[in-house]
Amino acid sequence: MQERKLKILRLIDEAHKIIEDGYHDLRQPKDEQATNQQRQFLLADMACHLIQDAMRDDITNSESLKNRLYAILTISDDFLTKKELKPLAQTIID
């Protein structure tokens, strides 16, 4: 099983690099709001981090896992406007 985890982590590292490069290519000036495409890349970035956390042996009660889920729900709220995910996200970190 450990070998499978390592393989998954290698693939995620590769995907993460591509996602980060794409996100950086879309950078806006600091005073401008993020575009939908930037938020998509940010959501994909958080999903990679979530998978990395999921593959850890010490996942139980992980603060990192809570933070990733919070970020994913908060970003997803922009795309699923009728679902009101931000209040749900808040319950994860409270």
pTM of the model as a whole: 0.87
The Cα–Cα gap between 92 and 94 comes to 6
Contact criterion met (CB below 8 Å) for 23 and 39: no
pLDDT in tens, 20-75: 999 999 987 877 888 899 999 999 999 999 999 999 988 888 899 999 999 999 99
The residue behind tokens 């995620």 is: 12
The Cα–Cα gap between 14 and 28 comes to 24
Angstrom distances, CA of residue 2 to CA of 8, 50, 56: 10, 18, 10
How many structural domains comprise the chain? 1
Q: Which domain holds residue 43?
A: 2-93
**Residue 42 confidence (pLDDT):** 96
**Residue 44 confidence (pLDDT):** 98
